[in-house]
Chains A and B, each alone.
Chain A
Amino acid sequence: DADVTQTPRNRITKTGKRIMLECSQTKGHDRMYWYRQDPGLGLRLIYYSFDVKDINKGEISDGYSVSRQAQAKFSLSLESAIPNQTALYFCATSEGQYQETQYFGPGTRLLVL
């Protein structure tokens, strides 16, 4: 089984709808991240969490919120989806020592109509 899983893998929604993307990991890592990938722009950080009680905004957090329900689970919510949030969303995890390697989930393709 994959170490980092994301659900759903694909989602189509309408403008104004609330949507949640979920990430689970079995690697036992403390740190979890949400990134967004747009064509030609690389990946950009939305939120990150060092543990259940520690959540921080990234470069592009506006319009998003997160919840760290447990060490292994980190969810990303779009409270009111808009078309420019159409993107590929990745969850990543890493150990809690310095600049460790981040391991990515398979991604969620989101289309907002």
Chain B
Amino acid sequence: AQKVTQAQTEISVVEKEDVTLDCVYETRDTTYYLFWYKQPPSGELVFLIRRNSFDEQNEISGRYSWNFQKSTSSFNFTITASQVVDSAVYFCALSVGGGSGYALNFGKGTSLLVTP
């Protein structure tokens, strides 16, 4: 069975602080993909990143960075110098093989509030 755990339900930071959102996953599959999505207050789901299980290189995109560690089954997301516009719910998700339709198994999300 596949499972994604986002232990942090809510995080509150002051603008310009760095913040890390944790994601721990469970799967027996050797080939899998991990994703992060952002859901702003308007409700839509915005794709942020996709990473396969064979690529453990860290990824940086502007103020966003991702740290993938297979040894700890984690795929953590860091926002550097947070801004009010970063306030949203962030979801980590896992996708495995075709038997499950390549569906996304979502964590319960972390609600991030960035205050001025």
- B interface residue numbers (CB < 8 A to A): 4, 9, 32-33, 35, 37, 43-45, 47, 50, 52, 91, 95-96, 101-104, 106-109
CB–CB B103/A101 < 8 A: no
Known: A40-B108, A99-B96. A58 touches B44 (CB 8 A): no
- A interface residue numbers (CB < 8 A to B): 31, 33, 35, 40-45, 48, 50, 56, 58, 88, 90, 92, 94, 98-104, 106-107, 109
From A41, A42, A50, A99, B95 is in contact (CB under 8 Å) with A99
CB–CB B101/A101 < 8 A: no
Main secondary structure of the interface of A (DSSP, over half): strand
CB–CB A43/B91 < 8 A: yes
CA distance A94 to B9 in the complex (A): 28
Q: Which residues of B contact A45 (CB under 8 A)?
A: 101, 103-104
CB–CB A42/B107 < 8 A: yes
Identity of the chain B residue whose Cβ is nearest the Cβ of A31 in the assembled complex? B102
CB–CB A90/B45 < 8 A: yes
CA distance A68 to B34 in the complex (A): 27
- Chain A nearest CB, measured from B77 CB (Å): 15
Q: Which residues of A contact B104 (CB under 8 A)?
A: 35, 43, 45, 92, 102
